[in-house]
Chains A and B, each alone.
Chain A
Amino acid sequence: GQQVMQIPQYQHVQEGEDFTTYCNSSTTLSNIQWYKQRPGGHPVFLIQLVKSGEVKKQKRLTFQFGEAKKNSSLHITATQTTDVGTYFCAVNSGGSNYKLTFGKGTLLTVNP
């Protein structure tokens, strides 16, 4: 089945530093979604990328979809303690959007 690798597994930063997590697939993706899960919480949808080379921004968060639609990144500028949590990418390479395969996530901790 569809597999996706997410790196790094953990990232600890000082407040104000930038953070990036990467999601890589061996196959071409139809779309990719990103989720944030706070400690003890549930995944919360952040964004979906569909087009090759797409770049979307949400305040300090920048999401990119690779030109070949096999990788994606999430970049946070000037992290804040509220950014703490695990960031997951979720992919589906087929024609339907169900049965998303989630990466293992990147746990971000921020030192104030």
Chain B
Amino acid sequence: GAGVSQTPSNKVTEKGKYVELRCDPISGHTALYWYRQSLGQGPEFLIYFQGTGAADDSGLPNDRFFAVRPEGSVSTLKIQRTERGDSAVYLCASSLADRDHPWYFGPGTRLTVT
């Protein structure tokens, strides 16, 4: 079946603009994760959803970052007043549950803030 999809694949925006990044998890996966990966680094945790609720958003860098998952499926990561330091690949992953199940990552959205 289809894997995790993310749109857009690439996003170039100007400093100060607002962006939305979308994640479509694998159907039936209740757990959804957002990670951010900078060049040469491992993915860093941002937020975790179990169903519709954000079970843990402690990885969000500041209040410019916000994520939603209103119907327990698609999730949107929203970044306000973007800064050049926000440039990275934003990865979404999903799994059947939060234990003992493999995670499936999407292809990521490469965000570049100029």
Contact = CB atoms under 8 A, between A and B. Distances in A.
B42 A42 contact: no
A50 B101 CA distance: 12
Nearest to A50: B100
Interface residues of A, number: 23
Interface of A: 6, 31, 33, 35, 41-45, 48, 50, 88, 90, 96-105
A101 B41 CA distance: 12
B56 A42 contact: no
Given A42-B107, A43-B91, A44-B105, A99 B99 contact: no
Given A33-B103, A99-B48, A105-B42, 6 more contacts: A31-B100, A42-B108, A44-B105, A97-B95, A101-B45, A105-B41
B41 A104 contact: yes
A42 B102 contact: no
A50 B91 CA distance: 25
20 contacts: A31-B100, A41-B107, A42-B107, A43-B43, A44-B105, A45-B102, A45-B104, A45-B105, A48-B102, A88-B42, A90-B42, A96-B99, A98-B56, A98-B98, A99-B48, A102-B35, A102-B42, A103-B42, A104-B41, A105-B42
Nearest to B108: A42
Given A42-B106, A45-B102, A45-B104, A99 B59 contact: yes
B49 to A, nearest CB: 9
Interface string B84-114: 0000000101010011111111111000000
Nearest to A30: B99
